[in-house]
């Protein structure tokens, strides 16, 4: 069965088609500038050069129409008709407390995703637009929603309840939800396979370190804590997000800087993180280049980032009473040799020791811990699309 995976943002859309008989990627693409001037689709059939088409797309329905045309194109397409697509798997950011797993989309599910827009106003509406567009253009194809929050629904209340008046939880659903769940789930499963141990017998700490970054504690296959919270702003220092700060700072900065409503949120989400500290960039490659040139604030940004990851690793080892393996994934986790070194430096007492030679690797599944380290350190490139396709395939198989 071939599965179309869709990940819709407000003005962009990523897609892939995977053949689930052998989990091979057939094509992938990115539509950008949906609803604005210069709309463009970049489509790549695996093994061929990229095909680029600039054409007006006023909304997500136009964008999906272009995707469907590209995947059926005689030259760079991968199917001859839409009937070859067995199902569509949609990435949906927020499923609230309703979904602890992926789900077949029906009217009831759509209602819940719409309700959850209140919790993720920037993310759920474009996800809904993508689902609606697919429904309109491929009405007979079943669709599955795969939620970023679902994997974290196994957290116990002591991990997800904030120490605020309890009625905020019951009235407004204010609690820790966690994000990047599809990635944490994917790398946890791969880690178990790589270590040849059942996931149920492992205590894992998964570090998804990309532009957005989060850490999860996964005990016996279940997430018991994660660093992102009610929104993806909490937890680690990120590219442009502050992560954990003293909450009193919001009011303090607002008064000092005489900020307009909404501005504080923008500063914490877009102007903070390693960009805010370094003043250089949100991209670790630029920051490391600046460090080479002697930029001290750039060096400090990297230290603060590593400090926070170490902080969570320590906390999660305490929460799980130990840890068998730490996994590094996403842009920084997969590629940044220096950052992995900084994070794991001098943690021998916790059983964490990486081998500097094994660590000199980028973007490849491998074990980077020293042979005698009690805690294995693993580098696992994430593959959220494959995880979405797998979940979709499992659900659709049961329907047949």
Interacting residues with ligand ADP (CB under 6 A): 210-212, 239, 282-285, 330-332, 335-336, 362
Q: Which is nearer to ligand ADP, 241 or 376 (CB)?
A: 241
Residues 91, 388: Cα–Cα separation, whole Å: 7
CB neighbour list of residue 264: distance below 8 Å, 6 or more residues apart: 250, 253, 254
Q: Which is nearer to ligand ADP, 141 or 269 (CB)?
A: 269
Report in angstroms how near the CB of residue 382 gets to ligand ADP at its nearest.
7
Contact 40, 54 (CB under 8 A): yes
Report in angstroms how near the CB of residue 284 gets to ligand ADP at its nearest.
4
Using the 8-state DSSP alphabet, how is residue 230 labeled?
Answer: S
Report in angstroms how near the CB of residue 281 gets to ligand ADP at its nearest.
8
Q: Is 107 a catalytic residue?
A: no
Q: Which is nearer to ligand ADP, 61 or 123 (CB)?
A: 123
Task: Please compute, for residue 263, the number of CA atoms within 13 A of its CA located in the half-sphere on the CB side.
Answer: 10
Residue number closest to ligand ADP, CB atom: 331
Q: Which of 386, 368, 385, 387 is nearest to 377 (CA)?
A: 368
List the beta bridge partners of residue 376: 325
Q: What are all long-range contacts of 262-271, with beta carbons under 8 Å and residues at least 24 apart?
A: 268/233, 268/241, 268/242, 269/233, 269/240, 269/241, 270/240, 270/241, 271/240
Identified catalytic residue from 148, 225, 324, 391: 148
Residues 332, 328: Cα–Cα separation, whole Å: 8
Quick one: which H or E segment has residue 243? Answer: none
Report in angstroms how near the CB of residue 255 gets to ligand ADP at its nearest.
32
Q: Which is nearer to ligand ADP, 77 or 381 (CB)?
A: 381
Report in angstroms how near the CB of residue 286 gets to ligand ADP at its nearest.
8
Q: Which is nearer to ligand ADP, 98 or 123 (CB)?
A: 123
* Residues identified as active-site: 148
């Amino acid at each position: 069965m071939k599965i179309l995976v869709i990940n819709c943002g407000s003005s962009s859309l990523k897609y892939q088609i995977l053949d689930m008989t052998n989990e091979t990627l057939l094509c992938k693409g990115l539509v950008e500038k949906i609803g604005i001037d210069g709309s463009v689709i970049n489509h790549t059939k695996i093994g061929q050069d990229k095909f680029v088409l600039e054409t007006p797309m006023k909304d997500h329905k136009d964008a999906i129409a272009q995707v469907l045309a590209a995947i059926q194109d005689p030259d760079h397409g991968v199917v001859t008709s839409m009937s070859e697509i067995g199902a569509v798997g949609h990435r949906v950011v927020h499923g609230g407390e309703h979904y602890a797993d992926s789900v077949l989309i029906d009217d009831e599910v759509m209602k819940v995703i719409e309700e959850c827009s209140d919790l993720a106003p920037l993310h759920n509406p474009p996800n809904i637009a993508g689902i609606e567009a697919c429904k309109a253009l491929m009405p007979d194809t079943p669709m599955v929603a795969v939620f970023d929050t679902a994997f974290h629904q196994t957290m116990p209340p002591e991990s997800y309840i904030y120490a605020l008046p309890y009625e905020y939880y019951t009235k407004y659903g204010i609690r820790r939800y966690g994000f990047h769940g599809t990635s944490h789930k994917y790398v946890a499963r791969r880690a178990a396979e790589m270590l040849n141990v059942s996931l149920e017998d492992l205590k894992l700490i998964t570090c998804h370190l990309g532009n957005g970054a989060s850490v999860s504690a996964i005990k016996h296959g279940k997430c018991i804590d994660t660093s992102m919270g009610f929104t993806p702003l909490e937890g680690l220092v990120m590219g442009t997000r502050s992560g954990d700060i003293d909450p009193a700072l919001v009011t303090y900065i607002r008064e000092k800087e005489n900020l307009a409503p909404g501005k504080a949120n923008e500063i914490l989400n877009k102007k903070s993180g390693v960009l805010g500290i370094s003043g250089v960039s949100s991209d670790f490659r630029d920051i490391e280049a600046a460090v080479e040139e002697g930029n001290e604030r750039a060096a400090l940004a990297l230290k603060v980032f590593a400090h926070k990851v170490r902080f969570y690793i320590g906390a999660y080892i305490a929460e799980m009473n130990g840890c068998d393996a730490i996994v590094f994934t996403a842009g920084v986790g997969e590629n940044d040799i220096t950052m992995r070194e900084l994070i794991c430096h001098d943690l021998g007492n916790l059983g964490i020791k990486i081998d500097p030679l094994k660590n000199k690797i980028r973007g490849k599944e491998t074990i980077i811990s020293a042979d005698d380290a009690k805690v294995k350190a693993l580098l696992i490139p994430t593959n959220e699309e494959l995880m979405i396709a797998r979940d979709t395939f499992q659900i659709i198989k049961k329907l047949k």
